[in-house]
Amino acid sequence: MDTAINVNNIVKNYGNVRALNGISFDVNNAEMFGLVGPDGAGKTTSIRLLCGLLTPNSGSAELFGLDLAKDRNKIQKEIGYLSQKFSLYGDLTIDENIEFFANLHGVKDYKSRRDELLEFTRLSPFRSRLADNLSGGMKQKLALACTLIHKPKIIFLDEPTTGVDPVSRRDFWKILSNLQKDGVTIFMSTPYLDEAERCNRVVLLNNGEVLSFDTPKNVKASIKKTIVEIVCAPIIKAYKLLKEKSNYEVQMFGDRLNIALDDYHKDLPPIEKLIADNNIQMIDHRIIPTSLENVFIHLINESKQPSSK
């Protein structure tokens, strides 16, 4: 499989702050690739670097086999970028916004392409509506249509579904899936780990460092832990107790706790006793599949541990 993007040991500093600390990964052609991490992890910086909008302090990147430092202009003609704050023109209609971006990219005969994109994003019935009067989900679809008007080979999407309602979010993912089937490489950043599960491969990024890089399935298999979900009351008291009085990783998800155990049969009884001794009722417990969120939190905790020399 041909490589669309190759990132080699990139470092990026903002003054005294290191945003990226020697990150490396590759992206295959027609791959749905996810850059996953919390705010401040370095996701937007990574995307802006790969779009040629920022220059790294050290390291290199290639897109389509071209060196980003030497062939920036050639590369930028072949990519599309949807930023977190995509600048639609609110006083222009859907049609007019797409026309503007077509002209910006030097696309001459854009009308048939525009009709195709409007049909593709299901915006055709609203083409005369002002962008200011669109819902959040429709604005994102329009932003994507503007990004695709010049038929880029790679599209970079920076947290494209943040703040979008669940139905529009699902529609957006269907659109991305169809783009991938058409051979477009999709490079997206997201803070949502359920979205990352849809990607072919993911990079888990935290504080500018790559914690893991593989398929979601392999990333989840990388920690040799049994995840036990516990339902108990009061939940907050149980969470604080286990965080303070046990050596296990504990995560709280609503009214449930996830605990990462080395040995289910050996480790669970002491936990049950600790909970009972502190007048907390354990209502239910079960082994659940490891999620990317479990892995991510495990890797972050592991990275905080002092390395033994």
Tell me: the pLDDT tens digits for 70-83?
999 999 999 999 98
- Is the torsion defined by CA of 133, 138, 139, 143 positive or negative? negative
As a whole number, mean pLDDT of residues 227-249 equals: 94
Tell me: the pLDDT tens digits for 256-275?
999 999 999 999 999 999 99
Tell me: the pLDDT tens digits for 166-187?
887 888 888 888 889 999 999 9
pLDDT surpassing 60 at residue 1: no
Residue 309's pLDDT is what? 41
pLDDT surpassing 70 at residue 308: no
Tell me: the pLDDT tens digits for 129-167?
999 999 888 998 999 999 999 999 999 999 988 877 788
pLDDT surpassing 60 at residue 290: yes
Whole-number mean pLDDT of the chain? 92
What is the full DSSP assignment across 232-284?
Answer: EESHHHHHHHHHHH-SSEEEEETTEEEEEES-HHHHHHHHHHHHHHTT-EEEE
As a whole number, mean pLDDT of residues 55-83 equals: 94
Q: Which two tokens stand for residue 161?
A: 């579904």
Q: Rounded CA gap, 183 and 173, in Å?
A: 16
Q: Rounded CA gap, 12 and 32, in Å?
A: 25
Question: What 8-state DSSP symbol labels residue 91?
Answer: T
pLDDT surpassing 90 at residue 109: no
As a whole number, mean pLDDT of residues 5-19 equals: 97
pLDDT surpassing 90 at residue 87: no
Of the listed ranges 44-53, 174-183, 286-295, the least confidently predicted one is 174-183
Q: Rounded CA gap, 110 and 238, in Å?
A: 60
Q: Which domains does the chain have, with CATH numbers?
A: 3-214 (3.40.50.300), 224-289 (3.30.70.100)
Q: In angstroms, how far apart are the furthest CA atoms of the chain?
A: 74
Phi and psi at 124, nearest 5°, equal -50, -40
pLDDT surpassing 90 at residue 236: yes
Alpha-helical regions (H) of the chain: 43-50, 72-76, 94-104, 111-120, 136-148, 166-181, 193-196, 216-221, 235-245, 264-277, 292-304
Are the beta carbons of 156 and 79 closer than 8 angstroms? yes
